[in-house]
Amino acid sequence: MERKEFKKSPLYQSKKNIIAGRNPVIEALRAGQLIDKVLLFTNATGEGIFEIRNLAKEKNVPVQHVPNEKLNSLTNVQHQGVVAFKSSVVYQDLQQVVDWVNEKGETPLFVMLDGVTDVRNIGGIARSAVCCGAQAIIIPDKGVGALNEEAVKSSAGALELIQVCRVNSLLKAIDTLHLNGIKVFTSEAQAPKKLFELSFTEPCCIIMGDEGKGIQTYMNKAADDHFSIPMKGAFDSFNVSVATGIILYEAMKQRIIS
């Protein structure tokens, strides 16, 4: 999609990945610019707010309500209670991606991110995913790092080569995967089954969680199987990006051998 540039007044000069102010955000949404999410002051009312909500809903752009202090920390310009983050990625529908992969005669290998907020980690995960033959990354519309230019740069361009599906519920996304015969696996430090003992030759999706909090409990319960990554050294755990690379490499190895 071709991006349209708008001439902004000095009042609305924004950081590289931010659009600040009601009119600039409305213009960006109307023009179909790639928007990752919109932040609204919790008590925002008045001109433009209703239209921003409607346009965001129409364009499937998440809207989050935040304190004014949060908006002030993002930009030093007159934001009028509205800030939008630009996205460098076109989001795809999960079911359509599943159908596309099956039509190509490939076995689905997806990665789902649960609470991974560091864009450098997301970029590294995308890079490993492309290198190892994964077809898609699934992310929630909230609680994940913005897929902006920094994320694309960290991925060495891989985020532009892989399908990215943004969903409003990871649990519903798991249901969609199950309905399509795709198993869901999670990595747990204490899981008795080792990574290499799991079969990645079947259609599957690997859930990777935040390094601090890990995968949410209800997500773990919805998974079909759990595994651990063997470690030689007595250390806490791998970085999430490194761990994903190890898992995806094992999946690629199994699929090549089979």
Q: What is the pLDDT of residue 89?
A: 86
Q: What is the pLDDT of residue 88?
A: 82
Q: For residues 75 and 44, what is the distance between their CA atoms, to the nearest angstrom?
A: 17
- Give the lowest-confidence range in 7-11, 148-152, 166-170, 216-220: 7-11
- Per-chain mean pLDDT for the chain: 88
Q: What CATH number does the domain located at 91-257 have?
A: 3.40.1280.10
Q: Output phi, psi for 114, to 5 deg.
A: -115, 95
> How far, in whole angstroms, is CA 229 from its chain's centroid?
23
Q: What is the per-residue pLDDT across 181-236, written as a single tens digit (0 to 9) for each?
A: 999 999 988 889 999 999 999 999 999 998 777 899 999 999 999 999 998 876 66
Instruction: Tell me whether strands 18-20 and 82-86 are parallel, antiparallel or unpaired.
Output: antiparallel
> What average pLDDT does this structure show over 120-137?
95
The residue written with tokens 């209670």 in the block is 81
Q: For residues 118 and 151, what is the distance between their CA atoms, to the nearest angstrom?
A: 9
Residue 10, pLDDT > 80, answer no
**Domain 10-86 fold:** 60s Ribosomal Protein L30; Chain: A; (3.30.1330)
Q: Give the pLDDT band of residue 153 (cuts 50, 70, 90).
A: confident
Q: What is the per-residue pLDDT across 81-110, written as a single tens digit (0 to 9) for each?
A: 999 998 888 899 999 999 999 999 999 999
Question: First and final CA of the chain: distance in angstroms?
Answer: 39
Q: Give the pLDDT band of residue 15 (cuts 50, 70, 90).
A: low
Q: For residues 126 and 159, what is the distance between their CA atoms, to the nearest angstrom?
A: 6
Q: Give the pLDDT band of residue 3 (cuts 50, 70, 90).
A: very low
Q: Is the pTM of this model over 0.75?
A: yes
Over pLDDT 90: what percentage of the chain? 63
Residue 149, pLDDT > 80, answer no
* 202 and 107 Cβ atoms separated by less than 8 Å: yes
Paired residues of 207 in beta bridges: 112, 186
Residues of each domain in the chain carrying CATH 3.30.1330.30:
10-86
Residues of each domain in the chain carrying CATH 3.40.1280.10:
91-257
Closest CA to 92 of 47, 34, 146, 149: 34
Neighbours of 98 (CB within 10 A): 24
Q: What is the pLDDT of residue 16?
A: 66
- Give the lowest-confidence range in 26-30, 49-53, 57-61: 57-61
